[in-house]
Structure formats: C-alpha cells, structure tokens
Structure 1
Amino acid sequence: MPPEDPASLPKPNLPKSELPAHSGSRSWWQSQRENVLTLLLALLLAFGIRTFVAEARWIPSDSMLPTLEEGDRLVVEKVSYRFSSPKRGDIIVFNPPAKLNFDGAYIKRVIGLPGDRMRIVDGKIFINGIPLQEDYIYAPPNYSCPGDRCPGVRVQGSDFVVPPDSYFVMGDNRNDSQDSHVWGFLPEENIIGNTIFRFWPPNRLHFFATQKYPELLSEAQVLRNPTPQDGGS
C-alpha cells in the first residue's frame, strides 16, 4: 500500500492558544521590513544633514531689517566654514556668548574680522581707517564705539581691535539690535553656519551672495603697493 501524501493528511485543528506566538509578528515584519528600514534611513539622513550640512531657520525679530524680516525662513549651510573662515558681510547664525544666558541662536552680519582695527563714529564704521560703505542697513548707528552706548567694547582711545579667532557682528537694523556693540566679540567656535537662501515667503526668494567692499580692497592694494615717499627709492 503506497504511503499517503502528507499534503492529503488532515491538519490538526490546534486551539489558537497553541499556535506559535511569533507567527503574527514575523509576518508583519516580513511585510513591513522595507518600509521600516526606509523610514530609519530617512531619519538618519535628515539628522545627518541638519547636523553637518544645512538646516532651516526662521527670523523671530526685526534686528536684521531691511535685509531680513520677521517670519522669513532661511537655509543655513554648515560646510563652508569647515574649510574657510567667515567673510566680511556674511550673514551668520551662531550661539550667543554664554554670559547672555540665552537658549537659542542669533543671526547677524559679520563686520569686523580678526585683527581689524575698528571704530564707530558719526554714523560710520571705520575698518583700519577706511569708512565702510553699506547699502543694506536700515539706518546708520546712532552711537559711538568705543563709547558709553557701546558696552561690548571697553577700551581707551578711539579705536579697538578684534581679537584672534573672534568677530564683531552687527544687525542691519543697527539701532535695534543686540549685537557685538552690546555684548562684545563673537568667538569663532560659536558660529553655526552661513545664510545662503531665503525660501519663504515665496515672493521674496533670494540667494545671498558674498558681499563686496571695494573700498577695503583698495586699501589692501595700497598696503601691497605703497606709494614711494619723497627721496625714497
């Protein structure tokens, strides 16, 4: 008599309590594994991009008028400053000095670079003796630096020097901005990134190009090619 086909044998009718407890979870994981792994990968990529490449920020105040308005949404990139230093005119996001006890980030414009000799007087900023030409500010500063209304700079004389690895940053709305003239120089290690693009509101989309200061370039050319003095060679 030929053996019976196992497939034709009657299957035992086990109570539900005796079925393998892992059968349901295994089938769910097999069907959803690809979706779960895709979600985890997306989260890891999003975290990595936000931490090391770029992130979105929004403007909570009017300190950068007229360049940035309250509610603007920006893309801040974090890569370039790993290979080069901030440039004059960059709009940077940074953690404020610890003494301010502020839980959040600031956004200001880089004005003074390490080693710059500066002063602010009569509504003008002087960098190494040259008045800075700025067409992006809301109004000229109505204070002098050094001076009583510039507590961030406590030196004697008419000029001050930006320390190594530090920057003098200011809001474009000069007379309504908590910036370096109030709390002092910004350590380079506090900088988060450089503002490159405004993506909201849609009618004000804008890429932020590197700011040019021809008057300071002219000064650098003069330093490289000094004019011979009378009687000199």
Structure 2
Amino acid sequence: MEALAKLDLVGVVFALAAVTLLQLALRPSKARVLRLLSESCDSARWVLAVFFLLIRPFGAQAFYIPSPSMVPTLGVGDKLVVDKLSYRLHDPQRGDVIVFAAPARATDDNKEGTDFIKRCIGLPGETIEVRGARLRVGGETIGPENTDPRVHPAADYLRQRLELAADTPVRLTRDGAFVNHSWLPRKTLAHKLGVAERALVLEPGEVRINGKPLDEPYLNEDPGYDMPVTQIPPGHYFMMGDNRNNSADSHYWGLLERERMVGVARLTYFPLGRARKLP
C-alpha cells in the first residue's frame, strides 16, 4: 500500500513496462505455473492503472509521520492511510486529523506544499484563543510571559521542583495535575512543593472556542503559552498539533486555507502494535 501510494506517473509507467516485459517472457511457456503468472500480469496492470488513475488521486493514500508534533495520537515513524474522498463530499469537522499541503511560511526552508499533519481545532466563523497554564504558589504567579509554545513555565516549574526529566508530560487541572500520566491531587502536590494546600492555585491551559473551553482528552500536556483571540474567516481553519507545546502549527504560521487540505487520516497500519482506527 505504501509503495503504491508513493508512485508518480514515471513510476507507474516503469511498473507497467516491467509487468508487460515479464508477461512477454512468460507467455511462450507451456508450464501451468508460468501461464498462471502470465495471466496474473494482466491483473497487475489493471491494479496499477486503477490505483493511479482513481484511488490515489481521489480515494486513499499512505503517509508517514516524520515529527513528534502529534504525540501521543501519532508517533514518529507511524504510517497511516488518508481518506482523500470525504472532503469532496463534506466540510472538515473539529477534531479531524488532517494531512495538508503546508504554506511556504510554515516550513524552515520556505518550501511550498510540504505535507503536514495536524488536528482541526477552529472552524470558519469562530473565534479561537489559547490560555496558557498557570500556577500560583504562595502568592507568586508562574505562567506564560510570551507566546512561544516551546516554553511552558508552569510545567517546567513542577518538573524542576519534583525532580522530573525535562520531557515528562505534565497536565494541570483545577484539582491537581497529571504527572507522567499519574494523578496527583492538589493536596499531594502542595505537600510535595512544601506549601499549604490553600496557597496553591492551579489554572489549566486551554483552547477557547467562541469564549468556551474546548475539551481535549487526547492531549498529554495543556498549552503553556497565550494566544490572543483570533477571528477565523470563511474558508479557513485553525490547525494544531496534539503535542501542543512542540508543534509548528497555526499558532506559528497562521490559518489554513480549505483548498490546501489533502484528506483526513483514518487509520494507522504500522507499527503493527499501534495499528488502529483514528477517532
């Protein structure tokens, strides 16, 4: 599937030529097995033609994930199948994981059309805002001072005070925090920080759509940065990586035009241990 998905017109021509030459070499043979192989070449030519002319441009295509921007939903090296037909029938929905041709401004080398994959968060006509996570410890506020998504002051503070690795996921709630996927109630967290429970205030980071917090259970870590209210015009979408603090997305390079979308990711097929249908 992946090899077929990567074939361009030249590749298909060479593949058809190879199949035809193989069939010509086998056709004079009277051996039953070789005759069957020759007949299989006819089927192979049809498969190549149908795939390239119909399925690849309009139906499905395989892609792989080159970066950690969609962790934990998709890992580096995951291979997935993208449905290219659905968006010919209906508009993208919030929560869709979408492959799209990124604008030049989104890439380090200013290259137009590089394949990106992000989650669709904001829809046309909506407003979107990002509120970074904050801690109040004994009257001191620890939170975002800029809009750089690589900086997460609240999570960095907890990682340092709890002597955790720099890449340990930390996600705040108002009642405690998930630290490396383990729940720490606010009382326990305050004890570990050496402060009274009443002196510890937790404000989780969140995305707000039309002023209302968006529920995002697929995240390992809440956003650590602020982004002011942005109005999304018709025909545009706000795309974000699930690895919210390690993703070059619409927060960096702006809104995505509808016509740049290639398709919606439906399932992963490799590694086999992670093969599954995507929500």
Q: TM-score scaled to structure 1, two decimals?
A: 0.68
Equivalent pairs counted in the alignment come to 171
Partner residue in 2 for 1:99: 105
Partner residue in 2 for 1:192: 262
Deviations 1:120-160 (A, max 9, x none): 113211101110111111311111112xxxxxxxxxxxx21
- Aligned-residue sequence identity (percent) comes to 44
Q: Secondary structure at the match of 1:89?
A: coil
Q: Aligned partners of 2:41, 2:215: CA distance in 1, in Å?
A: 55
Determine whether 1:118 maps to 2:128. yes
Show the 5 A alignment for 1:8-157.
31=28, 37-47=42-52, 48-100=54-106, 101-102=110-111, 104-122=114-132, 123-146=205-228
The one-letter amino acid of 2:125's match is G
Residues 1:144 and 1:50: Cα distance change in structure 2 (over 3 Å): same
* More relative contact order, 1 or 2 (CA 8 Å, 6+ apart): 2
Quote the RMSD (CA, aligned, Å): 2.0
Q: Please, which of 233, 242, 249 is the counterpart of residue 163 of structure 1?
A: 233
Give structure 1 stretches of 5+ with no counterpart: 1-26, 147-158, 210-233
Q: Secondary structure at the match of 2:68?
A: coil
Q: Name the structure where strand makes up a greater proportion of residues.
A: 2
Residues 1:125 and 1:40: Cα distance change in structure 2 (over 3 Å): same
Q: Aligned partners of 1:207, 1:36: CA distance in 2, in Å?
A: 33
Determine whether 1:205 maps to 2:275. yes
Q: TM-score scaled to structure 2, two decimals?
A: 0.57
Shift of 1:169: 0.3
Give structure 2 stretches of 5+ with no counterpart: 1-23, 29-34, 133-204
Q: Aligned partners of 1:45, 1:136: CA distance in 2, in Å?
A: 37
Q: Aligned partners of 2:26, 2:129: CA distance in 1, in Å?
A: 66
Deviations 1:182-231 (A, max 9, x none): 0000000000000111111111221123xxxxxxxxxxxxxxxxxxxxxx
